[in-house]
Every structure is written in structure tokens, then in C-alpha cells.
Structure 1
Amino acid sequence: MTGLFKILIVDDDADYRETYKMLLKRKGYNIEAACSAEEALNVMDKEFYPLIITDIMMPGKDGVSFLREVKDLYDKNVEVIMVTGYGSIETAVQTMKMGAFGYFIKSHNPEELILEIEKVYKIFSLQNINKINKNNEKGRHLCTSKNKKMQKVFEMVELVAASNSNVLITGESGVGKEIIAHLIHEKSPRAQMPFIPINCQYFSAGLIESELFGHEKGAFTGAASRRIGHLEEANGGTIFLDEIGDMEENTQVKLLRVLETKKIERIGSNKLIDVDFRLVSATNKDLGKSVLSGRFREDLYYRINTIEIKVPPLRERREDIEDLIYFFINRFNMEMGKGIKTIDEDTKAYLLDYKYPGNIRELKNIIERLVVLSNGGVLKAEMFKTEKINVNENEKENITPYKEAKQNFEKRYIIQVLKECQNNITHAANIMEISRRQLFNKIIELDLKEYIK
């Protein structure tokens, strides 16, 4: 796995550059070198390096100035280890205060430098594993099935994980497409590198391009600093584009170009940056029909659809419902400490018979609600209004379309939280457990600017 971790060596001494390259390549790292800070900045414009090892005493821009510029451009996205032949406590303290990860003196044992590099690599890997755990609740999904269709899905995951082929996961909303994407990543050689999910429904055309490709400082109003896009951030890992069928055509064109060239351009820049990621996409749409109607590009469809995995709806795998019921009961029981001992037989029969138009997501939400409202250690369906999930067939034509209903809910929810927080966007984002940027993007998308300070 270290071979996917890129390190840039910056030193004006050719002998030291070659020594470091040989030493670190032997350890399995992916190494590039530059003879000056100016050359290094040009290299970094073309490719992303999470770790830089730089000499301090160099002609032109010295290592301290280079460190300052790197931190100004990339902040915590890039770690820097300072190296010098003339060590001093003052310089070490100065560079550490400026954000350097470590400080190494050339005359010392090289193993000290390797240990520092290993610390950066472990931190980098741990951060990405924590992201995965936070996003996909690793270990909290039932990844077995009695259903033959679902068993074939898990078999396909095992087969495709080791490859680098693009995968398209199809299926109705709520069937667990993102779980399958996580499994592919976790079983792949890229498992310790980033897994970055992006829902194409959540962003307008302009916003999703900034999310995917990043932007330069001043590229547009509000771009106060350079931003590393998710395609660049996922270098060595996996990008998951959920609901790719909702992607705008202009973005489709740009994504196709990236998949063909493995290079991106940040918004506001004409410099190409090399990227190495595996693409997994998902959609609940029939992309074949979208291609015929002109809503989705045919060339992109074939590019993302090297391998297709179809996830069956829950109604086609009813033999799994009982296992899923007990799985979610145990999961929420442990989380909430409710002391659930059993489930009422009538409730169980009702849950086994219910049709679940919202698939596994709906079953999970029903069980969570039951556990929250439970007392006495027994789950009973009378604890919540079952009419909310019983939709009369004759009333279906009056139901608001899903996308519109979702948007209306988001508006009401965000307005309510903002009002509770006196329109303080930072406080509201913390309560909602999302980033400030995500909330701000939603506010712009839903035209709720009047509700923020």
C-alpha cells in the first residue's frame, strides 16, 4: 500500500536527492524529486503530494519560505518534514510553529527520518480509515444474505475489488448501493487510501465542479483560498459518485475527460494535475433510457459501466427481512442502551409482511423509531403511527414526487435549525453534524440566504 503514498524530495544537492530516493523507494514509497523550491511548486501544480521532505538551506527560495508557501497553499492537506545539515534548536522551533511535521539533521541515522515518514503515513491512513468508519458505519451493516441474487452481488464485489475497473452500481433508492461501494473499496488494494463519496443530487452544476476539481484562489467570488478537489484528494483511493444520473451535461463532459486522461484542472487554472483514483458510481435511474433521451452522454455511460452490479430491492429478497429486523434491533439497542429483550409477535408479523417501498433504508428507519419509543424491553408496532408507512394505493397519485418532497423537507429542516441557532450558520452546521461548507452550499442551492447572517 505504501506505493500509492507519494513523497516529494526537495534538495539542491543531487547526491542527497538520489540517496533519499533509493532509500525510500526500497521501503515501497512513490518518490519524486525537485532541486529547488521553485521546481517543487511547479511539480505540485501538476500532482498532489501529501508529504514533502525539504532541505532548509537552498539557493533562491529557502526551505523556511517554501514551508510557509506550502502551508499557505495547502494547509493541513500536505505535511512537511524539514531536513538540514546545520541543525539548530531555534530553526527547529520556528519551522514547527509554522506547521512542519518534523525536523531531521542529515548527519543523523536515516532510520530517524524513516520513522517520521512512517508516522505521517500512519496518520494519513488512520484519517482515511476514520473517514470511512464515519461515512459508512463500518461493521454496522449486514453483509450476508440468504437470497441468491444478493449472494451474487457479494460474489461480484469479491471479484471486482482486486481490479481497477470502473463499477456502476444500480438499484432502487434505499437498497444499499453505497454499502456495496464501501465493500468494494475495503476489499481492494486501495483500502487504506481515501474513500470519498459525493452525491450528485446535492450540488448544482457550478458547486459540484468545485467539489470535484477544486479551485484556485480568486477563481470566483468567495474563493478566498486554493481548494483541493475531491478527485485530487482521493489520489490512490476511490471516488464514489452517487446518483450520477443527475449530473449536469457540462460536468459529464469534464468527468469523461478526466477518466480518459487521468488529469484534472482546478477551476481558475490551466495546469494539468495527475490523479489516480478508482471510480465507483451509483444510480437509481435507467441510464440506458437516459442515454436514448439525450440526458446522459453515451460515451460517459460506457466509460463508467465497465462492470455493472445490480442490487435487488428488498421485496425480491424477502428471506432476508427477518435477519435484517434482528440486525437493526441489536444495532440500535446497543447504541441506545434500551435493554430490548424481545419483539411483539404481531409487530414481527407486520414487519415481515410489509412491502417496504423504501427498501432497507425504510426498514432501518422503522426499527430505529421502534427502539427509540420502546419501554419495558418489548418492541410494539403501536408505539408509532403505522399510517405513515401504509400508503393506500388509491392515494398514490396525490403523493409529491420524491425529489420535490426531499427538497421541501430539507428547506423546512434547515430553516428550523437556523432559527434555533439565531441564524448562526456555524452553530447550525455543528448541530446538524455536517460541515459549514456543506450547509452553506445547501442554503445557496435552496435559496435560503435570507435566513443566514
Structure 2
Amino acid sequence: MANSLSNLRIMVVDDEAHQRLVLKKILEKKGYFVEVASNGIEALQRIKSEAFDLVLTDLIMDNMNGVELLEKIKLFDKSIEVILVTGYGSIENAVDAMKKGAFSYFVKSHDPKELLDEIDKVEKKITSNNYYEDFGAISENFILTSKNKKFQEKLSMIKRAAQSNVNILLLGESGVGKEIIARYIHSCSEKKNENFVPVNCSAFYKGLLESELFGYEKGAFTGANENRKGRFEIANNGTLFLDEIGDISLETQVKLLRVIENRTIERIGSNKGVKVDFRLISATNKELSEEVLNGNFREDFFYRISTIIIKIPPLRERKEDLEDFIEYFFNKSQEKFKRSLKGISKEAMNFLLNYEYKGNIRELKNIMERIVVLCDSDYITLKELDIYSLKDSREESCNEEQISIGDIKFLKDMRREVESKYIRRVIEICDNNISEAARRLGISRRQLFNKVCEYEIK
């Protein structure tokens, strides 16, 4: 789930004040930045003047319903995700809306955790996209350069595997660069001049994944106004990369198994087979062997996608590369945010070299961006790292046995403490300019002012 440093900006749209307030409180408790609107017209005005990543909208509203709002949002900015909030009686309409571009839907009477899970998927999708757009194509060769002997051996094996056309399964923790490895395999193969087609399986809600993969015929369902090729057809003669394959349903696994075996797909709404030829690369951060034992993953499907298994090591096992990575992302972050810093202090560098990057390369990249943005001197020091409680988290994780029962705090109190300290420091850096601080934090001025009042920040 999101934490108190989440950058996801959410707009809640509902003509019932109580419903707006309930959703706002639930989401803010999870650390999201939330704004509300009482109708579609107000929401559109706000969306056009402020940046939002996700809109949660009630399906049934006066003047402009949720589907109409969805269509107008997508016309304005296709990158904004939309989740429909509905009652049992309108589920069919919500499903139809998904075929018009909605990310998913949430039934009001269901457990709010279901909604939070869907929002988590949205955040992962946006983070993944931003990660590759910002550093993917530019940094690919750099990230695949290593002083670590084991990783060098891994790269040699990857090159040999790329020469064949067998199915490859990439395993590794989140953030290790599995998509970059997949693109590297494609670039080393005979298919390098053909399409590389990535699909994040966890980003699509249930049945939508199948329409994304197989495509559909005009009239197959409400909103299917034209024939559409699926990712299998787009990847014909090239490489199909199925990321987060451990998250797909057992039913979809059966259908994918048939395609892999027969190299034939049928678009939704058609019984005509279409021949496809593709190189399959899959990836997951789950232990699929355990998922098989637990009945969450088909054994025959697992063996079919894993002719060759390549486990990508986490960043903490590539310590020899850390200093180069830090310098690289330090320089890239300065370019991105138009900063000109002289360097990183010895103490800060020692901390960065000894930090346990649980989020791997992605976490390192995010840390460097944050400290470059917030640094108020010529050098990065421990002060910038302390803002994010990285040092405290590091010390606590290394000294868990030293925490006494009297040191334990409620999670909400700890969250308030960290957020209060963080906001206070950002305002200081911005010379007490609330508008600038709000812009840096990615929230509205009004929302920041409310936080200032809540935490009694002077």
C-alpha cells in the first residue's frame, strides 16, 4: 500500500457529501493526496488547472454521470486513470465503462481494502511507466554495466539465452530492472528489429487483461466500436513481455497456455483463429514454485513459460556498482530538475553506500531525485537524508532487538510525526512560501494550509 510519502494525486467526485468525506478520510489515512468535487463539471475544471493521477467518480450523478466524466477526462488527458464507484445495480454499466478506458470499478458495499488494492495497482503502473520513461532507454546500457562478477556471469548467460527462441522467465524483487533485462534480451536476439511489446499484467482489472492481449471484434461488447488488435498480434514476429505474470488469474493462465502451445489466438467476439509468432519473456517478483504449491499458479503453465529461468540479483548484492549508480542518478536528477550541485558529502555518501535498498534501483533513483530537489546548499548532506527518515529507518532495521515495549507508538502517531517533520522542513527550504512548498509537494495550496493548521506548524 501507499505510504506517507506517496506522490499519487487523487480526485474524488461524488454528489453525496458524506460519501466524499468517507472516501477522502480513508485515502488520506493511507497517505494519498486527495481533493474532492461535488459534480463532474467542478471536477473537470479542477483537472484542467491542477495535476491529478487518478479520479474516483460515482457512476450515478446528476447533470454529468461517471461515464460521461470518464469520456471527457480521457479526451483531455488519456494518462489520468479513472475508477468508477458504483452500487450493485449498476455493475454492468461500470464494466462497460471499463471498456471505454476506466481502470476498474469498486462496489460501495464492498470492503474498502478492495478499492485500496486497485489504487495500489494504479500507483504501481504509474511508477513503472515513469521509471522507464525517465531512465529506461537512456540508462539501459549503464544499468547493464557491472563490476560484480556474479552479475557479469548472469549477463553472459542472458546473451546466450537471447540467441535462442525459448521462453524465458525473469525472477527478481521489485525495482531490479526486469523490463530493462527483457529489452536487452530482445536487442540481442534475431528479433531485435521487430516489435518489443510490454504488458503489465497486474495493471489490468480481471477480464480487461484478456481483451488487451487477444484484441476484439467490432460489436463484441458495448463500446467496441471497431476491430482492435491485441498485444499478441502486435508482437507478431517480435517479443512479448508479460510483466507481473504471477498476478494473472487461473482462468487466464489456461487461455495463455493454449496460445503458447498452438501459437493461435482468437479475438474476443470471433471464432476465427489468427496465427501468431512471438518470443515470450515473462517476469514476476513472486516465488512461482510456492504459488504452484499453494494452488495459485498452474504447474503446466509454469513449466511452459520457464524453459530458461534467470534470477536478477537485488541491488544489495551488487555493492560494487553502488557508487557508480549513485553518481549516475545524482547527475541525471540534476539534469531533470535543472539543479547544479557540487557533490555529495562524505558522510552522506557513506550512508548511501551502506543503505539497504529494499526497492532496489527504483528506490535509489527516487531517493536521489528527492534529495536533489530539496537540497538547499551546494552539497548533499545527511540533513537531506534525515528529511525522509532514511537514517532512522536504517538504524531501526539494524537494531530491532533494542526496541523496548515502551518505545512502540501507534502507526498513526508515527505517520503524523514523520509527515509533520517533512512538511516543516520543505516549508523552511522554500523560505516559508506556501505556494512553492505546495507545488514541490505535489498538493494544492489549500491542502498544505490545512496540514499546517493540523500540525500547528509556525
1:387 is aligned to: 389
- The more displaced of 144-153 and 133-142 is 133-142
The secondary structure found in structure 2 opposite 1:155 is helix
SS of corresponding position for 1:201: helix
Q: Which residue of 1 aligns with 2:349?
A: 348
Structure 1 residue 140, shift from structure 2 partner: 1.4
Distance 1:173 1:296 in 2: 19
Structure-2 change in CA distance of 1:209 and 1:398 (3 Å): farther
- Pairs aligned (count): 270
Match of 1:155 in 2: 156
SS at match of 1:280: strand
1:330 deviates by 2.1
Deviations along 1:375-425, one digit per CA (max 9) or x if unpaired, are: 44422342352315743446999989xxxxxxxxxxxxxxxxxxxxxxxxx
CA deviations over 1:108-131 (Å, ceiling 9, x no partner): xxxxxxxxxxxxxxxxxxxxxxxx
Q: Please name the residue that 2:188 is paired with.
A: 187
User: Aligned partners of 2:282 and 2:392: how far apart in 1?
Assistant: 32
Give, in whole Å, the separation in 2 of the partners of 1:165 and 1:306: 6
Q: 1:303 — aligned with what? A: 304
Give the Cα separation in 2 of the matches to 1:317 and 1:301. Answer: 28
Which deviations, in whole Å up to 9, do the C-alpha atoms of 1:53-72 show, x marking residues without a partner?
A: xxxxxxxxxxxxxxxxxxxx
Q: SS of the residue aligned with 1:137?
A: helix
Superposed CA deviations along residues 336-360 of structure 1, whole A, max 9, x for unmatched, are: 3322321111111110111111111
Q: Secondary structure at the match of 2:182?
A: helix
Alignment partner, residue 137 of structure 1: 136
Q: Do the aligned partners of 2:374 and 2:384 also contact (CA within 8 Å) in 1?
A: yes
The match for 1:363 is 364
Residue 203 of structure 2 aligns to a residue whose secondary structure is coil
Q: So what's the TM-score if we normalise by structure 1?
A: 0.56
Alignment correspondent of 1:378: 379
Residue correspondence of structure 1 range 194-209 to structure 2 within 5 A = 194-209=195-210
CA–CA distance in structure 1, aligned partners of residues 229 and 187 of structure 2:
24
Matches of 1:292 and 1:357 in 2, distance apart?
26
> SS of the residue aligned with 2:138?
coil
In 2, the alpha carbon distance for the partners of 1:377 and 1:250 equals 56
Query: For residues 295 and 366 of structure 2, what CA distance do their matches in structure 1 show?
Result: 36
What pairs up with 1:171-250 in 2 under 5 angstroms? Answer: 171-250=172-251
Shift of 1:362: 0.7
2:166 paired residue number: 165
Q: What's the Cα RMSD here?
A: 2.6
Alignment TM-score, normalising by the size of structure 2: 0.55
- The Cα shift of 1:149 comes to 2.2
Which residue does the alignment assign to 1:254? 255
Q: Could you say what secondary structure the match of 1:191 adopts?
A: coil
Select between 362-371 and 386-395 the one with higher mean Cα deviation.
Answer: 386-395
One-letter code aligned to 2:361: I
What is the deviation of 1:244?
Answer: 0.5
After superposition, the Cα gap between the structure-2 partners of 1:258 and 1:139, relative to the gap in structure 1 and judged at 3 Å, is same
Q: Does residue 283 in structure 1 map to residue 284 in structure 2?
A: yes
Q: Which amino acid aligns with 1:221?
A: T
Distance 1:250 1:185, change over 3 A: same
Does the 8 Å CA contact 1:338/1:377 hold for their aligned counterparts? no
1:2-60 deviation digits (Å, cap 9, x = unpaired):
xxxxxxxxxxxxxxxxxxxxxxxxxxxxxxxxxxxxxxxxxxxxxxxxxxxxxxxxxxx
Query: 1:335, 1:194 → 2: CA distance?
Result: 29
Amino acid corresponding to residue 136 of structure 2 in structure 1: E
Q: Take 1:274 and 1:398, find their aligned partners in 2: how far apart are those partners?
A: 58
SS in 2 for 1:146: coil
What's the counterpart of residue 337 of structure 2? 336
**Residues 136 and 180, structure 2, Cα contact 8 Å, conserved in 1:** no
Residue pair 1:214, 1:228 contacting (<8 A) in 2 also: yes
Deviations 1:149-179 (A, max 9, x none): 2112211221111211111000111111111
The alpha-carbon distance between structure 1 residues 356 and 223, as it changes in their structure 2 partners (threshold 3 A), is same
Question: CA contact under 8 A between 1:199 and 1:242: conserved in structure 2?
Answer: yes
How far apart, in 1, do the equivalents of 2:148 and 2:409 lie?
Answer: 32
Amino acid at match of 1:320: D
Contact 1:370 1:380 in 2 (8 A): no
Query: Relative to 1, partners in 2 of residues 1:153 and 1:315: Cα closer, same or farther, differing over 3 Å?
Result: same
> Unpaired runs of 5+ in structure 1?
1-132, 401-430, 432-453
Structure 1 counterpart of 2:206, one-letter code: A
**Whole-Å separation in 2 of the counterparts to 1:397 and 1:151:** 45
Contact 1:242 / 1:281 at 8 angstroms: preserved in 2? Answer: yes
Question: More displaced, 219-228 or 380-389?
Answer: 380-389
Shift of 1:194: 1.3
Check conservation: 1:140, 1:331, Cα contact below 8 A.
no
CA distance 1:252–1:307, shift in 2 (3 Å) = same
Aligned equivalents of 1:135 and 1:253: distance in 2? 36
CA distance in 1, matches of 2:234, 2:341: 42
Q: Does the 8 A contact of 1:342 with 1:377 survive in 2?
A: yes
5+ residue gaps in structure 2? Answer: 1-131, 413-441, 443-458
Which residues in structure 2 correspond to 1:82-97 (within 5 Å)?
A: none
Deviations 1:77-127 (A, max 9, x none): xxxxxxxxxxxxxxxxxxxxxxxxxxxxxxxxxxxxxxxxxxxxxxxxxxx
Distance 1:157 1:340 in 2: 37
Q: 1:397 to 1:227 in 2, by over 3 A?
A: farther
How far apart, in 2, do the equivalents of 1:397 and 1:271 lie? 61
Residue 325 of structure 1: CA displacement? Answer: 0.5
Q: Is the 8 A contact 2:343 2:378 kept in 1?
A: yes
Query: Offset of 1:332 from its aligned partner?
Result: 2.0
